[in-house]
Structure 1
Amino acid sequence: MLSLQNVSISTRISVLENVSYNFLNGFIYGIVAPNGAGKTTLFRCISGLKIVDKGEISFNNQAVNNQRKNFFYLEDIEWLDQNLTGMDYLKIVKFKWKSSLKIEEIIKTCRLDNFVNVPIRKYSKGMKQRLIFALYLMSDAECYLMDEILNESAISITEEFNVDNNIQLQL
């Protein structure tokens, strides 16, 4: 379970103040709020990229800052080096997250065969979305945090690949 207990987060302004919520394992949750409301900041705190001002975020009763490998969060496809290939990033994610999954299986599942060895700068929007989804799967993380990366495509991609409801999608 992902648990927020009396969490307060601020940037230039207060983003969250004394928020408590428990996200149960095995469910898909959506965080709906206007642009600039702090969704990205919240995801950065959950994934351990930013520290909360007050309160505690825990996953399975342990502080999240000690569990970065249990989360996979990619803020924006544009952060990826456009000169690297999808294969390069699959290898990086496999190594960093110590995934036991086989790269070849992820390529097959996500239908990346025809372009996985091509530089990302040559990818269409749809190809980038497939790569992003593949990177999430490759991580084999317990919790996936998705921040507008796939938008409306998230549901159709998960249906296309018949992914079960153990994926934690945050849209």
Structure 2
Amino acid sequence: MMNIHIQDLVKIYDDRRVLNDVTLTILENQTFAILGRNGAGKTTLMECLIGLTSYDSGSLSINGKQVSSIRNSVGVQLQNHAMFERTTVQELYSLFASFYSKPISPDHLLDLLHLDALKHQRIHKLSTGQKQRTAIGLALIGDPKVILLDEPTAGLDVQVRELIWEVLADMKAKGKTIVFTTHYMEEAEQFSDQVAVLHEGAILDIDTSEQLIRKYANKNKQTLNEAFKSLTGSTMRTGVD
């Protein structure tokens, strides 16, 4: 079972607790949203989970193991993804496919992400949305059991966001576990099995979006946005994660 366990995780930057005793469990084949404002600690939590950033105390594991020991079972997309800018999309996918024993076909991913027409385009010439689709394809190409996505649709237009979620729904149907951070209420509400509300480095509650609305939203405004405002005392706004 590819369950994810995070227990009492603490990360301190400059004497400030960016993550404050974060505890959560994500079950196999769940789509799990970590919902919070920019600056809430979402990216830091994701970086700790994949081993990119060290943490000060607590524990985390996937399938009872450190991520570093099962790296081929985990696909990752970060907000600040670095790619080989002078390669073409097809060259990049072929390169990454060569790292795995049983990758998803690059041609299949190009088709799935509507990148066929761009396969000979160099990365540095792609638009933001095209780069984001390319980065998500890189997260999927190893056919991972766990997919970790940091703000996968941030700043993208509606059509591209819908395409990405169609692709991720297909991955979930194949048994994948998907964890994503977001500040988009509608994504957390529509696409997740569970939502963790992260605010100022702390998990305030974890539940289905329906239950969060029932518990916290005003009776006259039964929305996840209203539940979030009631729970955190704030609305979504920009900041630094």
TM-score range, shorter chain: 0.7 to 0.9
Partner of 2:178: 168
Closer, same or farther: CA 25–161 of 1 in aligned 2, 3 Å: closer
Segments of 5+ residues of structure 2 without an aligned counterpart are 182-241
Q: Does structure 2 retain, via aligned residues, the 8 Å contact 1:84–1:119?
A: yes
Q: 1:6: how far off?
A: 1.8
Partner AA of 2:31 in structure 1: I
Secondary structure class of the residue paired with 1:62: coil
Secondary structure class of the residue paired with 1:100: coil
Partner of 1:159: 166
Closer, same or farther: CA 69–48 of 1 in aligned 2, 3 Å: farther
Partner AA of 2:7 in structure 1: Q
Encode CA deviations 1:2-41: one digit per residue, 9 max, x unaligned. 0001211122321122222101111111111221222111
Greater C-alpha Rg: 2
Closer, same or farther: CA 155–52 of 1 in aligned 2, 3 Å: farther
Residue 31 of structure 1 is aligned with which of 18, 30, 34? 34
Residue 109 of structure 1 is aligned with which of 84, 95, 112? 112
- 1:81 matched to 2:72? The reply is no
Segments of 5+ residues of structure 1 without an aligned counterpart are none
Partner of 1:8: 10
Secondary structure class of the residue paired with 2:37: coil
Q: 1:97: how far off?
A: 4.5
Q: Which has the higher strand share?
A: 2
The CA distance in 1 between the partners of 2:80 and 2:88, in whole Å, is 13
- Identity of paired residues, percent? 24
User: What is the TM-score when the length of structure 2 is the normalising length?
Assistant: 0.62
Q: 1:66: how far off?
A: 2.1
Q: Does structure 2 retain, via aligned residues, the 8 Å contact 1:9–1:15?
A: yes
Matched residue pairs, number? 171
Encode CA deviations 1:54-78: one digit per residue, 9 max, x unaligned. 1111111112232222222232366
User: What is the TM-score when the length of structure 1 is the normalising length?
Assistant: 0.85
Q: 1:145: how far off?
A: 1.5
Q: Does structure 2 retain, via aligned residues, the 8 Å contact 1:136–1:144?
A: yes
The CA distance in 2 between the partners of 1:20 and 1:161, in whole Å, is 25
Encode CA deviations 1:82-108: one digit per residue, 9 max, x unaligned. 222212321232233444322222222
Residue 119 of structure 1 is aligned with which of 122, 138, 160? 122
Q: Does structure 2 retain, via aligned residues, the 8 Å contact 1:144–1:168?
A: yes
- Structure 1 residue ranges, 4+ long, deviating more than 6 angstroms after superposition: none
Q: Does structure 1 retain, via aligned residues, the 8 Å contact 2:113–2:163?
A: no
Q: 1:142: how far off?
A: 1.7
Deviates further, 153-162 or 125-134:
153-162
Partner AA of 2:4 in structure 1: L
Encode CA deviations 1:120-150: one digit per residue, 9 max, x unaligned. 1221233223312322221312222211232
Partner of 1:60: 63
Closer, same or farther: CA 67–80 of 1 in aligned 2, 3 Å: same
Q: Does structure 1 retain, via aligned residues, the 8 Å contact 2:104–2:143?
A: yes
Secondary structure class of the residue paired with 2:22: strand
Q: 1:161: how far off?
A: 7.5
Deviates further, 14-23 or 93-102:
93-102
Deviates further, 138-147 or 97-106:
97-106
The CA distance in 1 between the partners of 2:144 and 2:13, in whole Å, is 28
